[in-house]
Structure 1
Amino acid sequence: MSSKELPPSTTPFFPNQFITNQFYSKAQHVSEDTDLSGKVAIVTGANTGLGLECANQLLSYKLSQLIIAVRSLRKGEDAAIRLRKQYTNAKIEVWLLDMSSYDSIQAFASQIEGKLSRLDIAILNAGISNSTFRLASTGHEETMQVNFLSTMLLSILLLPPLKRKSPTGSPGRLTIVTSMLSLTAKFAQKDKIPLLEAFDDEKTFDGVDIYPTSKYLGLIFLWKLTDLVSADDVVVNCVEPGFVKGTSLQREAPAAIRFMLYLLKVTTARSMKLGATTYLDAAITKGKESHGCILMNWGIAPYPPLLYTVEGENIKERLWQETLEELRFVNVNGILESLIK
């Protein structure tokens, strides 16, 4: 049963769902005989944290070519050097990708078209969490820009090459990293018209809620996006890695929150290695049944309860139309129409 078909969860997130996630979930590791020879994968934000560990695990299954997509080429090369020493048979490249810049995302997509004859897997791991208000070069609040608008743009631009450059009978895989914190999102702007513009107002900026809400919006958009994409062409899913120690996502959070998170990580957090297995499970192990699904604790989970309601349907449509309008400069409607043909 898909995420859209599951009944919405009524379990309170904290502490009930959180405790289940961290202590009572059974890990599902990729089969030891998995062989990724000949395959090409992209991992964004792969110079550190979960992205780097994901890259390492992909390479351990004989991945032939890896694209590390990062905003700092120097940091990306530092990571690549370490990986090349360990995996001498793999081709490991570092490509520039600044998720706060539409120009950079388009240039990255052009590289894929021009340089790759094959593409099997794309794992969109890059994300930020700003506790203070900052505008990106696009004029939008930066966390919303990177985690939602830019991630959705890159997702759409990746769909055609994943469809065309993956072998017949083996659909491309697009896995987008989400967060269980989306379940805690206040989403105070949900009734605003226009919706996206409401996040660009510094006076109403919420440094605690912006990250969960940015991930929440990604789930709303992907509900509709995956209705237009055939799982025979590209399997698109979202993965929630759980609460993981060793990441630097909350480095800008206020000191009190960082201290609280430190205590939680010491007592409850998954290891980086275990967290990254959720990425591989979503992108390799799970099949077409995971298309359009949220994967949490190595299993298929429901969408947030709001999305099953009449109000949620209205929000889905408004967000969909506003996002397509925002991204019209790359002819997203034409790209989506081409996938249906």
Structure 2
Amino acid sequence: MRQAKVTPLPEGINLEGETVVITGASAGMGLETARQMLRLRCSTMVLAVRNVSKGEECVQQLEQDPVIQSNKPTIKVLKLDVGQYDSVQEFTKELQQKIEAVDILILNAGIGRLKLERSPTGHEETLQINYLSNVLILSELLPYLEASAGKTGSPTRISWVGSRMHEKGHDFEKKGPFRSDDSVFARFDDEKRFSRFSYANSKLLCAMFMYTLAPRLDPTKIVLNMFCPGMVNTNMSDYLPLPLRVVFEGVKYLMGRPIEDGGNIYINAAVVAGPETHGKYLYDKDIQPEPSTYIKSTVGQVVQKRLWEETMEEMKKITTLPSEFC
């Protein structure tokens, strides 16, 4: 079945004077969203990228756009390797030193894996990149983002890219009973327990974390939401083995949205959607009224509680946690 048609963005969006930070911004949806926001007169764009040289090439590409060129924005490239904690901390420190205030933060960087590969932290890569490093970014930046709201006079917007697959694509229920003393992280890190559904599993953790954190935040300072743009024609499937990639490329050809539509959905979540989306999940542009059936279930609540505890234990080893996390 084809995906629903994406409705146009409202007319008159003007991001003049606003500063936007996008992680994973050197390709795919990150770069496309940066392009669209710059065309909407965003004044300062921060591209957070693993490869700085590639990021600088993206700046040159963006500046060739006649509309962006006429708006004369400031485009900065900051190094961020979300596979490494020290790189995350160097990025958050540099961001605070170089940028006075942030209006919009889009947590976009993410990967998928079909076999266990470890990041330099020792954790399985999808767990590290899709979940843990994003939590560390929030841990390090939350006081700064709250202070940004005081300077700009409006809540700082944090939009985290999720996936519909967190609802039914995960296999937490199929991996055996989950006890209150079980380790969430072990389901990724242990070779014997690793799952080819690690992408969907990692997005489940992201959703659970968002649902736990949002009620602890002051929505007059921070509006946090999570969204899924559906299947978009990007290079996200490049990690798949060739036979699977061929199949997936065929599915994307038939069903995938143009990348411009994906950017439209990103901008809706980060700019258009109001404070009513705080602590909510958006499928395309539709607010989901409540968490998924699994997250609401008794076992899902056990996993969510254990995830928070385990995540806080991990973060305390690395940084000083903001009060909202304690």
TM-score (structure 2 length as normaliser): 0.92
Aligned to 1:113: 96
SS of 2:317's equivalent?
helix
Aligned to 1:156: 139
Unaligned runs of 5+ in 2: none
Distance 1:158 1:28, change over 3 A: farther
Tell me whether 1:27 sits opposite 2:10 in the alignment: no
Cα separation, 1, equivalents of 2:39 and 2:49: 21
Q: Deviations over 1:125-159 (max 9, x none)?
A: 11111222111111100111100111121123232
Amino acid of the structure 1 residue aligned with 2:47: I
SS of 1:250's equivalent?
helix
Tell me whether 1:199 sits opposite 2:188 in the alignment: yes
Q: Deviations over 1:42-65 (max 9, x none)?
A: 011111111111000100110000
User: Contact 1:99 / 1:150 at 8 angstroms: preserved in 2?
Assistant: yes
Aligned to 2:170: 185
Cα separation, 1, equivalents of 2:6 and 2:293: 25
Cα separation, 2, equivalents of 1:173 and 1:83: 23
Unaligned runs of 5+ in 1: 1-18
SS of 1:236's equivalent?
strand
User: Contact 2:23 / 2:49 at 8 angstroms: preserved in 1?
Assistant: yes
CA RMSD in angstroms, aligned pairs only: 1.7
Give % identity.
33
Amino acid of the structure 2 residue aligned with 1:73: V
Aligned to 1:48: 27
Out of 156, 160, 170, the residue aligned to residue 154 of structure 2 is 170
Tell me whether 1:84 sits opposite 2:63 in the alignment: yes
Higher RCO (C-alpha 8 Å, min separation 6): 1
Cα separation, 2, equivalents of 1:240 and 1:259: 23
Out of 283, 288, 299, the residue aligned to residue 311 of structure 1 is 299
Tell me whether 1:324 sits opposite 2:315 in the alignment: no
Cα drift, residue 109 of structure 1: 0.8
1:251-270 → structure 2 map (5 Å cutoff): 251-270=238-257
Cα drift, residue 190 of structure 1: 6.8
User: Contact 2:84 / 2:119 at 8 angstroms: preserved in 1?
Assistant: yes
User: Contact 2:103 / 2:148 at 8 angstroms: preserved in 1?
Assistant: yes
Distance 1:170 1:98, change over 3 A: same
Aligned to 2:276: 289
| Count of residues in correspondence between the two structures | 315
Q: Deviations over 1:298-333 (max 9, x none)?
A: 110242211112222211110000001011134454
